Structure 1
């Protein structure tokens, strides 16, 4: 297993490097060919006070006056040395901005990820055990409806109902407005986190619930389960003894693989709730042409999604002995 596992990690590492290079190059080209002028976005409201000579100096300072490929290789060389550059809109190192914003986004993603996984798995199990009943039809209708529901629409709906009409939760942001950082309590942060996390959880349960339902139905139709039924086992005991492991493995893999969708949903949810995370920083960097920050976020999000998929493969390999024979590549 040792050599096979090392080979598996080596292949994954090669794929990660090639993926990063390709994504960085494509993202760089897309940003450079966008209609947004980074110099104009950098100047902001003082555009009329800045003359052509000053614009040239700004372009030279940020290296925007050089050919496209020269800019890309200069940026790539700095990345190899561990320098993500300086944000044009925040005037801070990109690494510092990502590390600060990632803490907020990580709390949101973990909360939504755990809730959607547990709720989706339980709903899928109940739907399979109650196949053909009104409970099964209700869960399927719920999942099919949510699968086509945009994250921002669900966020706006929850915001209107629970923040505007009922007033149970704050309208937005990650902390109370006008409160000093040292005076913000954990309860305040959790209260601002609930609605964004609930938005992502409600939308994210559909795939895991439908997938778990179908897998459990396949398990319940297998020969060894039919034999267990003949011995008198039924209901939850039957699921616990014969269905849990076979259903949990695919569910774990699917949940880890959902990191990419979760990260995309975070971008929309953070915009709706003005939550200060990576998603909001990504939108601001894209709208204002902040090339260093946007590319740094692209690299980070790619690594984040790739690591999530890698963890899913490793967990599947550990839990399922059949995957230790070198078939996982």
Structure 2
């Protein structure tokens, strides 16, 4: 099979997989929302007292009495036309809400993704170089603790220590309170981004660090590394020449596969830090039964995670076939 035919087949399979994924995810999510015990009208009104006529209008607006199957078909038909509907709680098009919120979340997720990848890779290399030492055991203990730490708990601890007690960082939000949009500077946004990004990134360090450590240990015990040692190569130069070059691409592949954990962690971190991103919009849409917004976010998040997996698969299939060969031989 030619390379072009292989690539075309690969792309075709991925497109079909994405379409089927979106169909299944949207249908399951829609039905879960429909059979949720949350009353959207009551959730929207809260303790507010309204007349029966006003409540009936809200039920009609929310489509409470419309059969779920009919609502799903109507929604799916609008999606095929490019219409994601209007958010019931924000009273604006779903696409506008997602664009605004996802842009804020993208800055948070991208910065934490980079920090966790770089820091995890460095710690993994350092741990693998000093395997069996006290330094190696300290890094492994640190990674095990992070793996067992709930995201929201770590976010609350960081918020109380660094924002409330020490006052080093702002308490939540993405911009200063009471400042108009045109007066918000780039450094204001960075200041509000640092603590949420660090919190989210620390939780992604453990996986990449432990993976890199194990891969480096395998590489350093291989025959060609032993031959390099026999030629007189040693120390950091040996690790950089033969170790880092062979573990970097598998580590990058794993980092792209972590998009789902990254998105899930962002939802919790944004909630704790009151960060106005896609995560907070997801929670609000779920609690208020805002079906158009929640389903729009579900589709966008599914595409986001699929993109990370797709990049990892491209590396796996075409850029570094050794990864596939290694797994085949195990």
* Residue of structure 1 in register with 2:10 after alignment: 8
* Residue of structure 1 in register with 2:309 after alignment: 309
User: How do 1:39-118 residues align onto structure 2 when only pairs under 5 Å count?
Assistant: 39-46=41-48, 48-51=49-52, 53-118=53-118
Of the structure 1 ranges 245-254 and 210-219, higher mean CA displacement relative to structure 2 is found in 245-254
Q: Is the 8 A contact 2:266 2:279 kept in 1?
A: yes
Q: C-alpha deviations, 1:78-107, integer Å up to 9, x for none? A: 111111111110101000000000110000
User: How do 1:17-36 residues align onto structure 2 when only pairs under 5 Å count?
Assistant: 17-36=19-38
* Residue of structure 2 in register with 1:262 after alignment: 262
SS in 1 for 2:24: helix
* Residue of structure 1 in register with 2:320 after alignment: 320
* Residue of structure 2 in register with 1:165 after alignment: 165
Q: Is the 8 A contact 1:318 1:324 kept in 2?
A: no
Q: Distance in 1 between matches of 2:125 and 2:318?
A: 23
* Residue of structure 1 in register with 2:123 after alignment: 123
* Residue of structure 1 in register with 2:213 after alignment: 213
Q: Distance in 2 between matches of 1:71 and 1:314?
A: 38
Q: Distance in 1 between matches of 2:322 and 2:155?
A: 42
CA shift for structure 1 position 211: 0.4
Q: C-alpha deviations, 1:236-293, integer Å up to 9, x for none? A: 2112221223211210111000000000000000011000000000011111111111
Of the structure 1 ranges 114-123 and 5-14, higher mean CA displacement relative to structure 2 is found in 5-14
Q: Is the 8 A contact 1:249 1:316 kept in 2?
A: no
Q: Which runs of 5+ in 2 are unaligned?
A: none
Among 37, 40, 65, the alignment partner of 2:39 is: 37
Q: Distance in 1 between matches of 2:26 and 2:188?
A: 37
Q: Is the 8 A contact 2:40 2:289 kept in 1?
A: yes
Q: Is the 8 A contact 1:173 1:276 kept in 2?
A: yes
Q: Is the 8 A contact 2:250 2:323 kept in 1?
A: no
TM-score by length of 2: 0.94
Q: Is the 8 A contact 1:156 1:272 kept in 2?
A: yes
Whether 1:223 aligns to 2:223 is yes
CA shift for structure 1 position 45: 4.9
SS in 2 for 1:49: coil
SS in 2 for 1:90: coil
Q: Distance in 2 between matches of 1:43 and 1:68?
A: 22
Q: Is the 8 A contact 1:216 1:247 kept in 2?
A: yes
Matched length: 325
Q: Which runs of 4+ in 1 moved over 6 A?
A: none
SS in 2 for 1:179: coil
Q: Distance in 2 between matches of 1:5 and 1:245?
A: 26
* Residue of structure 1 in register with 2:253 after alignment: 253
Assess, with a 3 A threshold, how the Cα gap between structure 1 residues 214 and 124 changes in structure 2: closer, same or farther: same
Q: Distance in 2 between matches of 1:76 and 1:284?
A: 22
Q: Is the 8 A contact 1:101 1:276 kept in 2?
A: yes
Q: Which runs of 5+ in 1 are unaligned?
A: none
Q: Is the 8 A contact 1:109 1:262 kept in 2?
A: yes
Q: C-alpha deviations, 1:47-91, integer Å up to 9, x for none? A: x2231x433333333433221111111001111111111111010
Of the structure 1 ranges 147-156 and 114-123, higher mean CA displacement relative to structure 2 is found in 147-156
SS in 1 for 2:109: helix
